[in-house]
Amino acid sequence: MIDWKAVGVGSLINAVLTIVLTISVFPLFFLGPIIGGLVATYIGSGERKDAPVEGALTGIIGGLIIGILFIAGFGALSAIIGLIFAKVGIVAGTITLIVGVFLTVLSILVGGVLGAVGGFIGAEIKENGRKEVEMEH
């Protein structure tokens, strides 16, 4: 069974890390979905077979959050441009919407795949950590 609280936490971690890494160190943006999926699987109470699903869900939800923030942020910018230049504002708003939808879909697809990878990694860490503790006793 999927632990939705863990998926929510992983999605937020995914979105925040992806945005921060995209702005600061672009080539490392892919770590956001992987770490989000890893955290969701590691802290979640779900079973090992649910790990890729939990990871993929963090990537999908994180991608939606990123897309909504992108559209909202650039929507506000295009509205300001629209107030200043009427014709340019209409074109900017349309282009922003098209690019925003494209980036949202791309974020969802990439985030889902990388989140599933993070879910596998988190499940392995969680299981191997338990084995180490059991062996020490």
Q: What is the pLDDT of residue 129?
A: 80
Per-residue model confidence as pLDDT tens digits over 82-106: 666 666 666 666 777 788 788 889 9
Per-residue model confidence as pLDDT tens digits over 19-58: 899 889 989 999 999 999 999 999 998 788 999 999 999 9
Residue 121 pLDDT > 70, yes or no?
yes
- What b/e readout covers 101-120, taking b as 16+ CB neighbours within 10 angstroms? eebbeebbebbbbbbbbbbb
Q: What is the pLDDT of residue 34?
A: 96
The residue that leads in pLDDT, 46 or 79, is 46
Residue 113 pLDDT > 80, yes or no?
yes
The residue that leads in pLDDT, 8 or 75, is 8
Q: What is the pTM of this model?
A: 0.83
User: How many Cβ atoms from other residues are within 10 Å of residue 27's Cβ?
Assistant: 8
Distance CA 58, CA 53 (A): 9
Q: What is the pLDDT of residue 14?
A: 96
